[in-house]
Amino acid sequence: MEVIIPFFLIHWYTSLFFQTFFLHRYASHQMFTMSKFWERIFFVLTWVFQGSNYLSAYGYGIMHRMHHAFADTEKDPHSPTYDESIFKMMWKTKTIYSQINKGQMEIDKQFTQEVPQWLAFDKFARSAASRIMWGTMYVAVYYFYADVWWLWLLLPVQFLLSPIHGAIVNWFAHKYGYVNFPLKNTSKNFLPFDFLMMGESYHNNHHMHGSRANFGGIRWHEIDPTYYIIRVLDKLRIIKLKEVRA
């Protein structure tokens, strides 16, 4: 327990950070810029920390732009309004994501402009060999350190972290929570204090201000941890944060 719980929590939050920082706020929305060198570094770090759950910045970026353009319509890649269960919604999401990455879908140029792509690395990182390597490592950690049976229940979650993170926002944050801004979609702020999703659960705020790097800050209790990390990276000149009026 002394190893598995910290291992699980570190994997949860590091995987989530690179999803919200690199895939969402950078690849999808271009809320900040970075050099090609740092972009490649963050590609690799996303693979390291997402592991068997690695998501392509290109596939994620395009799909998320489509979500904003078609939120809660029949063209939305993931909407509880048009998918009767969370499992059907996530399967639809997976199908569209795969079609984008395999070039099997015709995509409007507005969704592909400046989305980062590293074809050779993506092919490796999304390969079965890569996923099996990471999965074997997770199993080995549990084999040596899971000292009570119920800890093994966390292992399948680690295999599915990225889909789980996506489901929390794309399903629950469109069904439950509170609204700061009445919009023409069902986006909600799922948590008043986002201890779970590093700012991602402030989904209504994000749909209102799609280019704003700080997902929180509308109410006093809305603290977006990822935004403060972005500010530090900006101060270190690793990235350059764009100034956007709220």
pLDDT tens for each residue of the chain, 246 residues long: 889 999 999 999 999 999 999 999 999 999 999 999 999 999 999 999 999 999 999 999 999 999 999 999 999 999 999 888 999 999 999 999 999 999 999 999 999 999 999 999 999 999 999 999 999 999 999 999 999 999 999 999 999 999 999 999 999 999 999 999 999 999 999 999 999 999 999 999 999 999 999 999 999 999 999 999 999 999 999 999 997 654
* pLDDT per position as a tens digit, 173-186: 999 999 999 999 99
* pLDDT per position as a tens digit, 81-117: 988 899 999 999 999 999 999 999 999 999 999 999 9
Residues 6 or more apart from 156 whose CB is under 8 A from it?
A: none
How far apart, in whole angstroms, are the C-alpha atoms of residue 103 and residue 218? Answer: 39
User: What crossing angle do the helices spanning 4-18 and 128-145 adopt, rounded to 10°?
Assistant: 150
In order, the DSSP letters of 2-51 are: TTHHHHHHHHHHHHHHHIIIIIIIIIIT--EE--HHHHHHHHHHHHHHHG
* pLDDT per position as a tens digit, 14-32: 999 999 999 999 999 999 9
pLDDT of 244 reads 66
pLDDT of 125 reads 97
Q: Which of 118, 134, 132, 129 is nearest to 43 (CA)?
A: 118
How far apart, in whole angstroms, are the C-alpha atoms of residue 31 and residue 225? Answer: 16
Q: Where are the domains of the chain?
A: 4-176
| Strand 240-241 to 32-33 pairing | antiparallel
How far apart, in whole angstroms, are the C-alpha atoms of residue 95 and residue 89? Answer: 10
pLDDT of 1 reads 80
Q: What is the pTM of this model?
A: 0.95
How far apart, in whole angstroms, are the C-alpha atoms of residue 224 and residue 214? Answer: 6
Q: Which of 195, 240, 236 is nearest to 216 (CA)?
A: 195
Burial category of 242 from C-beta neighbours within 10 Å (exposed 0-12, middle 13-18, buried 19 and up): middle
Percentage helix, strand, coil for the chain under 3-state DSSP, each rounded to 5 = 55, 5, 40
In sequence order, what E strands does the chain have? 32-33, 240-241
